[in-house]
């Protein structure tokens, strides 16, 4: 499988960006210095996925389902 098959559509990219923004707003409301550093990992992955179209979660999910023999 090529990496091209793992690219997300524009609507999925917009959804990922919106989820990242909501998460960052929640972190901001809690206080940027009050939350654990790991709380920033999810928005970072989501913004990366929205910007590039390569969603790490989608890649891993498809590989696991493919290994189990489950088709999309």
Q: What is the pLDDT of residues 26-39, one digit of tens each?
A: 999 999 899 999 99
Residues in CB range of 59: below 8 A, 6 or more apart:
6
The rounded mean pLDDT for the chain is 87
Q: Specify if 44 maps to a domain.
A: yes
User: Whole-angstrom Cα distance, residue 30 to residue 44?
Assistant: 18
pTM (2 decimals)? 0.74
Q: Specify if 23 maps to a domain.
A: yes
Q: Specify if 43 maps to a domain.
A: yes
| Angle, helix 56-67 to helix 41-52, in steps of 10 degrees | 90
What domain count does the chain have?
A: 1
Q: Specify if 1 maps to a domain.
A: no
pLDDT band, very low/low/confident/very high, at 5 (cuts 50, 70, 90): low
Q: Specify if 41 maps to a domain.
A: yes
For residue 29, give its domain range: 8-67
């Amino acid at each position: 499988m090529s990496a091209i098959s793992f690219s997300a559509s524009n609507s999925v990219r917009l959804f990922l960006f919106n989820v990242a923004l909501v998460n960052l707003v929640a972190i901001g409301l809690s206080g940027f210095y009050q939350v654990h550093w790991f709380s920033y990992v999810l928005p970072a992955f989501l913004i990366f996925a929205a910007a590039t179209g390569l969603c790490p979660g989608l890649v891993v999910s498809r590989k696991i389902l493919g290994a189990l023999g489950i088709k999309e």
